[in-house]
Amino acid sequence: MTFLTPIPALIAAAITVPLLLALYLLKLRRRPLRVASTLFWPRASEDAQVNVPLRWLRPSWLLLLHLLALACLLIAFARPAVDEGGQAAGQRVVLLMDVSASMGAVDGFGATAAAAGANPANASEASEETETRLDRARERAKELVRDLRAGERREIAVVSFAGGAQPLSGFTASRSMLDAAIDSATQTDQAADLPAALTFVESLLASGAEGDAADATGADGATVILLSDGSFAPSEAPVESTLRLRFERIGPALASVDETQRTPRADNLGIVGFAARRDDVNPALVRVFARLANPNPQAIDVPLTLAIEGQPATRRAVRVPGAGASSAAAPDAGDAPGQEQVLFEVPTSPRGVLTLTIDRDDALASDNVASLVLPELFQPKVVVVGPDDAADGASSASSATTPNASGQAGAATGFDWLVTDVLEELSQRAVRRVGIGAYESAVEGGSDDPADLTVFLADATPLRAPRTPSLSFAGQTGLSSLEVDSATPTLTPRAGSIFWERTHPLMIGVPLDNLIVRSTAAWRVRERSAGDIDGPAVTVLARADDTPLIALVEARTGGAGGVEHVVVGFDLVDTNWPLQPSFAVFLANVVDRLTPRARSFVGQAFTTNQPVRVRAAGTGRVTLEGPVSLTIREPRPTGAAATIPNVNAEVLDAGVLPRAGLYVVRGGGGSGGGAGDRAVAVNVADLTESATLAPTEVRVGTRAVAQFEQARVPRELWIWFVLAAAVLLTIEWFVYGWQVRK
């Protein structure tokens, strides 16, 4: 029970209670009268003694009844009320504010558009409404702060959440601090993760409970008020929570629900999927795929524009079915948005930024645009390093005899020609072959032209690990993390004892069941010491018993990812592998993994809930400029490039970017190919957020939490206290009459 007007009641009590007591303390004034007898003098004497002024009050039923009646009238004046819309708040309250993408929807737009039949021609009239759900959530949060502090002094904390939770204020009773924290809640384009937010709130309550575990679980009165539209994707693994949760629904009015709908929503269409890929046979042909979602009950014709580098390339109108009409509809067909697949074919081999736009105003603008970055078709530069008597500086080794690095002719031995031919087919350009002597001389003199991939054949052992990714055969690595046992330099694997990592990207489609290895290097993998963040990371991809056959070595710097080297421990002439199709597949996997070749075949984009990774060259400052700007790498000191193993293309982690849009990379040397990224695309691409549903309940684990009906006026109880005062006064009248007759 709360009091709606406690202050006026306290003022009235300060006046009336002393006045009532004064009536009992003051002596009654009597008129002198002549009497014929003194029979009644004893009673008059006693009555005079009771009314002596300024004497202590004696117990009296009349005084008690008068005080009780006055108390009832004062309580009625304070307007007591019972809140029947949900549970009362405890001493500590957490305002949990949803700032996900759907909270940016404009419900006023949806109502106007729905009345106009979702006609794009009337969109200008509908777009006049600009108040988003988050704006209304801020207003409601401030009302809650005022109401919660009116009855009693409570401590309130403010937490915002979308993909993750963020505390905006600690527990405080200061209204100004709470209002400032509520105003600081920033809109994001992320999908909401309610279980993660509740887990964060539990830890927040536990940290502030000062050892009271009951309060952390909500048993001691802590209340979490969720201000959200309730648009959450169903969790595959529901997480139970014991928090006392009150759901304040922010969304369209329930009266706007159509008969075909089960949940109110705003008028919106969104791009929930966007991808592009070059044709494997004809890389000049680019296919662009898009998936559109329509939560409206009726089908809508949507105009689409595909732009390349900001210039419109093609336009198309697509009819998107209404909610429940899609073939991929969920069992709850009334709420499942309709979906439509769209395919564009661009035959001009574009590169750069592809942008798809829905040319229709609706309730949520962030999902009307989706972008991706399509790199220029990359042709990796591959250098094959062989022994000096079988290598040359020519671009092909398919002939039987070739001049060596010294100008003398040498015969290509073993399966070296097969390696070169496969690499030429994969890289779509000539493969340069050099001898190990010429390679070392160029490296020592600093005149080498760094390749995207360096392949070391048998009997071509580098003195040190190359600066660029490499593939080495017969254990020729130059890597300190792999050591050959000098006592037993080679081993003969047992038949049928080969095991490999089938799920690793380098080994997908590479079965080794029929592989026969006559001898392999007896490796030992040097373990990295604890705390050595710069030590190489070694992944054994294939092994025979305890001996590695194929390994991936990643050189690290400062704990960040660096150059990758693939090492094959056996010579190709000692196996039957070159005669199997899996060998060509393995070389293709190596080229795709260690060079940007595979990345140039698909468009690159991230969602607002994914961590963004940026490839940057050089050693200077790298920043992202877009909807939000941030620095992802500070400039390194002069001369630091020599200590960085992968200066040409370092992968930087930019974290999760909460706002969708196109981000330009500054300072990363981005010019296409392998030099670095010049732009990063971040999209909403989330079906739940684009649906903009506003259900009347949310599910927390297996528990359903219904909305708190904030529009209901609390039930006032003052009339009952007035009636109680009347009953007490009636009793007082009978008591007074009984005492008079005594």
Residue 384 to residue 430: CA distance in whole angstroms: 11
Residue type, 626: G
Q: With contact defined as beta carbons under 8 Å apart, do 161 and 96 qualify?
A: yes
Instruction: Quickly tell me which residue has 């390339």 as its tokens.
Output: 313
Same domain assignment for residues 320 and 215: no
Mean pLDDT (whole number) for 309-327: 84
For residue 233, is it within any domain?
Answer: yes
Q: Which two tokens stand for residue 356?
A: 């798809």
Same domain assignment for residues 589 and 657: no
Residue 687 to residue 467: CA distance in whole angstroms: 44
Q: Among the listed ranges 251-260, 275-284, 510-519, 596-605, which one has the minimum average pLDDT value?
A: 251-260
Q: How confident is the model at residue 654 (pLDDT cuts 50, 70, 90)?
A: very high
What percent of the chain clears pLDDT 70, i.e. is strictly above it?
73
CA distances for 408 relative to 392, 455, 459, angstroms: 9, 22, 18
Q: Which of 374, 372, 370, 373 is nearest to 660 (CA)?
A: 370
Q: What is the DSSP string of 440-480?
A: HHHHHHT-----SEEEE-TT---SS--SS-EEESTT----T
For residue 563, is it within any domain?
Answer: yes
Q: With contact defined as beta carbons under 8 Å apart, do 698 and 705 qualify?
A: yes
Residue 333 has pLDDT above 60, yes or no: no
| Strands of the 470-472 sheet, one edge to the other | 432-435, 382-386, 453-456, 470-472, 564-568, 547-554, 537-544, 498-500
Residue 550 to residue 733: CA distance in whole angstroms: 104
Residue 204 has pLDDT above 80, yes or no: yes
For residue 288, is it within any domain?
Answer: yes
Q: With contact defined as beta carbons under 8 Å apart, do 228 and 247 qualify?
A: yes
For residue 396, is it within any domain?
Answer: yes
Same domain assignment for residues 452 and 564: yes
Residue 71 has pLDDT above 60, yes or no: yes
Same domain assignment for residues 521 and 621: no
State the Rg of the chain over Cα: 40
Residue 639 has pLDDT above 60, yes or no: no
Residue 368 to residue 272: CA distance in whole angstroms: 9
CATH number at residue 327: 2.60.40.10
Q: Which of 547, 390, 542, 566 is nearest to 473 (CA)?
A: 566
pLDDT of residue 411: 41
Same domain assignment for residues 249 and 102: yes
Same domain assignment for residues 350 and 487: no
Residue 478 has pLDDT above 50, yes or no: yes
Under DSSP, the state recorded for 103 is G
Residue type, 300: I
Same domain assignment for residues 352 and 410: no
Residue 240 to residue 218: CA distance in whole angstroms: 13
Instruction: Quickly tell me which residue has 């105009």 as its tokens.
Output: 303
Mean pLDDT (whole number) for 357-380: 91
pLDDT of residue 51: 53
Same domain assignment for residues 571 and 624: no
Mode of pairing for the β-strands spanning 606-607 and 679-683: parallel
Mean pLDDT (whole number) for 472-482: 67
Domain assignment of residue 614, given as a range: 609-683
pLDDT of residue 716: 77
Q: What is the DSSP string of 531-593?
A: T-TTSPEEEEEEEETTEEEEEEEE--BTTB---EEEEE-S-GGGBSGGGSHHHHHHHHHHHHH
Q: Which residues pair with 552 in a beta bridge?
A: 539, 566
Q: Among the listed ranges 118-132, 479-493, 676-690, which one has the minimum average pLDDT value?
A: 118-132
- Measured at the CA of 413, the angle between CA 407 and CA 414, to 5 degrees, comes to 160
Same domain assignment for residues 399 and 461: yes
pLDDT of residue 554: 81
Same domain assignment for residues 565 and 434: yes
For residue 28, is it within any domain?
Answer: yes
Boundary residue ending a domain (377, 404, 438): 377
Same domain assignment for residues 142 and 171: yes
CA distances for 19 relative to 26, 53, 54, 145, angstroms: 11, 14, 14, 37
User: Quick count: other Cβ atoms within 10 Å of Cβ 80?
Assistant: 21
Chain segment 685-712, per-residue pLDDT in tens: 999 999 998 888 898 888 888 887 654 5
pLDDT of residue 475: 62
Residue 349 to residue 342: CA distance in whole angstroms: 19
The alpha carbon torsion through 726, 727, 728, 733 (nearest 10 deg) reads 90
Mean pLDDT (whole number) for 476-486: 60
Q: With contact defined as beta carbons under 8 Å apart, do 696 and 249 qualify?
A: yes
Q: How confident is the model at residue 646 (pLDDT cuts 50, 70, 90)?
A: very low
Buried b (16+ CB within 10 A) or exposed e, 234-247: eeeeeeebebbbbb
178 CB burial (10 A radius; 0-12, 13-18, 19+): buried
pLDDT of residue 559: 43
Q: With contact defined as beta carbons under 8 Å apart, do 242 and 205 qualify?
A: no
Q: With contact defined as beta carbons under 8 Å apart, do 8 and 78 qualify?
A: yes
Residue 383 has pLDDT above 50, yes or no: yes
Q: With contact defined as beta carbons under 8 Å apart, do 136 and 371 qualify?
A: no
Task: Give 637's contacts (C-beta < 8 A, 6+ positions apart).
Answer: none
- Print the SS3 string covering 472-499: ECCCCCCCCCEEECCCCCEECCCCCCEE
Mean pLDDT (whole number) for 203-222: 59
pLDDT of residue 93: 92
pLDDT of residue 370: 97
Q: Which two tokens stand for residue 382?
A: 């591959």
pLDDT of residue 329: 39
Domain total for the chain?
5
Residue type, 208: G
Boundary residue ending a domain (557, 573, 599): 599
For residue 689, is it within any domain?
Answer: no
Mean pLDDT (whole number) for 467-481: 73
Report H helices in 162-243: 175-183, 194-208, 213-216
Boundary residue ending a domain (341, 356, 377): 377
Same domain assignment for residues 231 and 170: yes
Q: By three-state DSSP, how is residue 270 classified?
A: strand
Chain segment 96-146, per-residue pLDDT in tens: 999 999 999 998 765 444 443 444 444 444 445 689 999 999 999 999 998
Mean pLDDT (whole number) for 253-277: 76
Q: Which two tokens stand for residue 137?
A: 């959530």
Q: Which of 592, 385, 359, 346 is nearest to 474 (CA)?
A: 385
Buried b (16+ CB within 10 A) or exposed e, 14-44: eeeeeeeeeeeeeeeeeeeeeeeeeeeeeee
Q: With contact defined as beta carbons under 8 Å apart, do 99 and 186 qualify?
A: yes
For residue 349, is it within any domain?
Answer: yes
Residue 568 to residue 302: CA distance in whole angstroms: 54
For residue 87, is it within any domain?
Answer: no
